[in-house]
Chain A
């Protein structure tokens, strides 16, 4: 009768996505931000000295980081209003399920924003990724997992502090470097048509980061709850 870790997490994820789908404001804000940023980045560089395609990987992953942050803010905001989080904490659902469920919902959110960003960059920067789509999707997934693992935990913490909106980026961004760097470098190799094996080091860093921080953040999450 008591729900398991995964079924509770899925339930919470579905609830989060239902709420996001109903309002959609966060998603649209993130998408609009991404598109604007792409445009601004393009005009911030001298097109004769830097080819758009050289710019593309950097732009893609920088935007991914900041757009992702926009989505992470709302994750625990919805639980703070009217103390809905108490409803979750008083239930038999395991504490870790709250973290995993929200992280899962954030993953879907970030993934969707990422997809739009990749399409946007492909369009604006003439970035051909036809044959490499699968590899790029793999990178996108791995990067999103890392971002969401750390970001979900910090948003759980930030929501309980003053300066919540400022604190989330200040805490999270240092942790995003080992995600953005490998992702951007590996993407550059992909676009240059190099075999994936050449970027093996970067892929490994990304995978290692994901494993370490998903575990660490899941274990750390219960400490962010009031007891």
Chain B
């Protein structure tokens, strides 16, 4: 019955159609940028003296971490606050999209981290403040998405997610602080210093390029995901009628 309703109410809106007509141009640009940076990182950037080739994972790990926390999650928190204030579902759609893309970047951080750790220093996991905070960021993202999946009512889903988004933003600093305190009071072998290593100018350039291309990738994916969110809501609205 829902099929006849969809057919009846005009073809899919233009926003959806554009994702069917060829690939999204921004995504293509972003992927090219990432690939270009990868090439530069592998072939045209000096190898780190201490860690060897394994250090190059840094050019994936650190930008992903930046995007996951300071772009994706910050956006989720901001959109959550705006939604609770203004009650506009568009904010919720951005938050939802940002969370789904963010969890991907966070997963990348959590997989590249151990690989880097094992390759460079021989340990899979270290409980340093940053990595642990990222792990909890991952938990919050997953909780956010599970919560959304468990609520059918559109407005309730938006409100509850927004509450979780904001509380999650409050939690992250506490995680960071707790683990930092744990490490200072319980000295553990310091193997992980993701931001501290001094970078030569070429390394810094590559890092900044990587940061830029990952940020671009995030925005491209966010846009695509947002369009999907709009389409899904419109479909749901049509089915209700």
Contacts and interface: CB of A to CB of B under 8 A. Distances in A.
Query: Does a CB–CB distance below 8 Å link A and B in the complex?
Result: yes
Interface of A: 150, 153, 157, 160-163, 167, 170-171, 173-175, 177-178, 181-182, 185, 201-202, 205, 208-209, 212-213, 216-217, 220, 223-224, 226
Residues of B contacting A: mostly: helix
B171 A175 contact: yes
Interface in B135-189: 136, 139-140, 142-143, 146-147, 150-152, 156, 159-160, 162-164, 166-168, 170-171, 174-175, 177-179, 181-182, 185
A11 B40 CA distance: 67
A178 B182 CA distance: 11
Given A171-B147, A174-B171, A205-B177, A157 B139 contact: no
A181 B140 contact: no
Contacts of B159: 223-224
A226 B143 contact: no
Contacts of B152: 162
B175 A178 contact: yes
B163 A224 contact: yes
A201 B143 contact: no
B151 A216 contact: no
B181 A157 contact: no
A216 B164 CA distance: 11
A106 to B, nearest CB: 17
Given A157-B163, A161-B160, 4 more contacts: A162-B150, A178-B171, A181-B179, A223-B162
B71 interface: no
A205 B181 CA distance: 9
A223 B84 contact: yes
B178 A182 contact: yes
B236 to A, nearest CB: 17
A124 to B, nearest CB: 26
Contacts of B142: 170
A161 B140 contact: no
Contacts of B167: 150, 153, 175, 213, 216-217, 220
A150 B152 CA distance: 23
Interface size on B, as a range, is: 20 to 34
B121 to A, nearest CB: 25
23 contacts: A157-B147, A157-B163, A157-B164, A160-B151, A161-B147, A161-B150, A161-B160, A167-B146, A167-B147, A170-B146, A175-B171, A178-B177, A181-B178, A185-B182, A205-B178, A205-B181, A212-B170, A213-B167, A216-B170, A223-B84, A224-B159, A224-B160, A224-B163
Contacts of A220: 163, 166-167
A220 B169 CA distance: 13
A167 B148 CA distance: 11
A212 B170 CA distance: 8
Contact of A163 (B150, B171, B174, B177): B150
Contacts of A150: 167
Contact of B136 (A162, A177, A213, A216): A177
Contacts of B163: 153, 157, 220, 223-224
A153 B166 CA distance: 13
Closest 10 CB pairs of A and B: A161-B150, A178-B174, A174-B139, A220-B163, A162-B150, A178-B178, A171-B143, A181-B178, A163-B150, A223-B159
Contacts of A163: 146, 150
A157 B146 contact: no
B146 A181 contact: no
Contacts of B160: 157, 160-161, 223-224
Given A160-B151, A185-B182, A201-B185, A174 B177 contact: no
A226 B162 CA distance: 14
Contacts of B178: 177-178, 181-182, 205
A173 B160 CA distance: 17
Nearest to A208: B174
